[in-house]
C-alpha cells in the first residue's frame, strides 16, 4: 500500500492531523494498536484552549463539543480556607471548554469514517524503515497478515511508549525529564456539580482539583503517593480528604456523590528536543509529556498538528520544505512555554515532601500575588487559555 503521509497512532494528534490533511487534499493512513472501542472508551479529562476549540470548529468537528462541552470563563484557586477567581475571559478575552479527550476522539473518528479514511485498528509489530530516505515505510501486522505502507512522510503520534520516538537513534536524541514524587488519585462520581468552574486547591495536606464532567457526573482528584493503592481508600476516606482540602472557611463545600471509578496516575514532565529525524516527525505525547496541572497535554498535541499541517501543505502545494525543516524549532517554542507553565502550576499547588515551613509560606505568598495582582493574574490566564507569547 502507498500513501502520502503515514500516521502512527489514533489519538487526538493522529486523527486530527489525518482530518486536516484530508481537507487539503493530502492522503494519509492511520495505524493504531488498540481497537476503536478502546480508544473511544479510555476516559481522560480534557480542557480545551481557545485555539483548540477554534481549530476543531473550523475543521467541522466541533458541533458536539459546543453542544455538550462546558464553556468556562474562569476558574477558582482555593488556599488558606478561601477561594479566589481567575477571570479568564475578562483578562484575556478568551475562554476554555471542559470536554473529555475521548469525546474529541469519538468526533474525529466519526469524521474520518464518514470521509472514507483508511483507519487500521488492532495493528501490531509496527516498525519503521528508511526514515533518512525519501521513501520511508511502515511495516505492521493487521488481521494476521504482514503489511508494508510506503509513504512520503511518517508522523509518530503513538505516545511515549510507541515505536516512533524509539526509532530515532539514541545518539541523535536529546531528552529532558522530571519525574514528580507524587501522583493524582482520581475519582468519577454521580451527583451535581460542586462549582460552576474548576477549582484548583492548595492545602498543607496536598493538592486537589474539582472538575465537572456533566450535570450528573463529576471528576475530582487529590494528590497522593503514586505507589499507593486505590484499595487503601474507602469512599468515606476519599470524601473526608477532599473536604479537608477544598472546603472554604465561609461554608463553601464540595458535594458528595456515589463514586464509580477510582484510579491513580503518576506525574512527569518530558521533552524530546528532537521532534524530527529525516522523514519522521513526532507530535503529541510521542514528543512531550506535561503534568496535568496546567491542562496542556491535548492542547500541545493540537498545536503540533497545526504546525505540521501547515508544513505538509506547503510541501505538497508550494513545493516548499522550509517549514518541515524548521518543525522542531517552531514546535518546541510552544512546548517549552507550556512545560514551564505546567511545572510552575504544579510546584505552586502541590505539597512538596520535605519542604520547610518557609518554603510552604512562599507557595501561599505566590497564590496571594496571582490572585490580587492584575498583571500576575493576566499572565496566568494567558498561559491557561493558550495565548501567552512564545
Which residues participate in catalysis according to the annotation?
72, 200, 292, 296, 384
All 3 cell numbers of residue 2?
502507498
CA distances from 158 to 15, 122, 165, 298 (A): 11, 13, 9, 13
**Percentages (nearest 5) of helix, strand, coil residues in the chain:** 40, 30, 30
User: Residue 42, Cβ neighbours under 10 Å: how many?
Assistant: 12
Q: How many CB atoms within 10 Å of residue 215?
A: 10
Q: What are phi and psi of 69, to 5 degrees?
A: -70, 155
| Sheet of strand 82-87, all strands in order from the earlier edge strand to the far edge | 82-87, 74-79, 199-202, 208-212, 217-224, 175-190, 258-272, 288-289
Between the CA of residue 14 and those of 63, 166, 386, what are the distances in Å? 20, 18, 21
- The rounded Cα 177 to chain-centroid distance in angstroms is 17
**Distance in angstroms (rounded) separating the CA atoms of residues 139 and 247:** 54
Q: Rg for the chain (alpha carbons), in Å?
A: 21
77: which residues sit within 8 A by CB, 6+ positions away?
83, 84, 85, 86, 199, 200, 201, 202, 367, 370, 371
Amino acid at each position: 500500500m502507498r500513501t502520502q503521509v503515514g500516521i502512527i497512532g489514533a489519538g487526538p494528534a493522529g486523527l486530527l492531523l489525518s482530518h486536516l490533511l484530508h481537507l487539503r487534499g493530502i492522503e494519509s493512513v492511520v495505524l493504531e494498536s488498540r481497537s476503536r472501542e478502546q480508544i473511544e472508551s479510555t476516559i481522560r479529562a480534557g480542557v480545551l484552549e481557545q485555539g483548540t476549540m477554534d481549530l476543531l470548529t473550523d475543521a467541522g468537528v466541533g458541533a458536539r463539543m459546543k453542544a455538550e462541552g462546558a464553556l468556562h470563563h474562569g476558574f477558582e484557586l482555593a488556599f488558606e480556607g478561601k477561594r479566589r477567581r481567575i477571570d479568564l475571559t475578562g483578562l484575556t478575552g478568551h475562554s476554555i471548554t471542559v470536554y473529555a479527550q475521548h469525546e474529541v476522539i469519538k468526533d474525529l473518528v466519526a469524521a474520518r469514517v464518514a470521509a472514507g479514511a483508511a483507519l487500521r485498528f488492532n495493528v501490531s509489530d509496527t516498525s519503521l524503515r528508511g526514515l533518512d530516505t525519501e521513501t520511508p515505510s511502515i511495516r505492521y501486522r493487521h488481521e494476521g497478515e504482514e503489511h508494508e505502507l510506503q509513504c512520503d512522510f511518517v508522523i509518530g503520534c503513538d505516545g511515549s511508549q510507541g515505536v516512533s520516538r524509539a526509532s530515532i537513534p539514541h545518539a541523535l536524541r536529546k531528552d529532558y525529564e522530571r519525574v514528580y514524587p507524587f501522583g493524582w488519585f482520581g475519582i468519577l462520581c454521580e451527583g451535581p456539580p460542586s462549582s460552576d468552574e474548576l477549582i484548583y486547591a492548595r492545602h498543607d495536606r496536598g493538592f486537589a482539583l474539582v472538575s465537572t464532567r456533566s450535570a450528573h457526573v463529576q471528576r475530582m482528584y487529590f494528590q497522593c503517593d503514586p505507589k499507593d493503592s486505590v484499595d487503601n481508600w474507602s469512599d468515606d476516606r476519599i470524601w473526608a480528604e477532599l473536604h479537608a482540602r477544598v472546603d472554604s472557611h465561609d461554608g463553601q463545600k464540595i458535594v458528595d456523590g456515589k463514586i464509580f471509578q477510582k484510579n491513580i496516575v503518576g506525574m512527569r514532565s518530558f521533552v524530546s528536543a528532537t521532534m524530527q529525524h529525516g522523514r519522521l516527525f513526532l507530535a503529541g505525547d510521542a514528543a512531550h509529556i506535561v503534568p496535568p496541572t496546567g491542562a496542556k497535554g491535548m492542547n500541545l498535541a493540537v498545536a503540533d498538528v497545526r504546525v505540521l499541517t501547515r508544513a505538509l501543505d506547503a510541501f505538497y502545494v508550494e513545493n516548499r520544505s522550509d517549514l518541515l525543516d524548521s518543525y522542531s524549532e517552531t514546535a518546541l517554542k510552544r512546548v517549552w512555554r507550556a512545560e514551564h507553565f505546567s511545572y510552575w502550576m504544579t510546584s505552586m499547588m502541590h505539597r512538596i515532601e520535605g519542604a520547610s515551613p518557609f518554603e510552604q509560606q512562599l507557595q501561599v505568598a505566590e497564590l496571594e500575588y496571582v490572585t490580587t495582582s492584575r498583571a500576575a493574574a493576566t499572565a496566568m490566564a494567558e498561559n491557561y487559555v493558550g495565548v501567552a507569547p512564545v
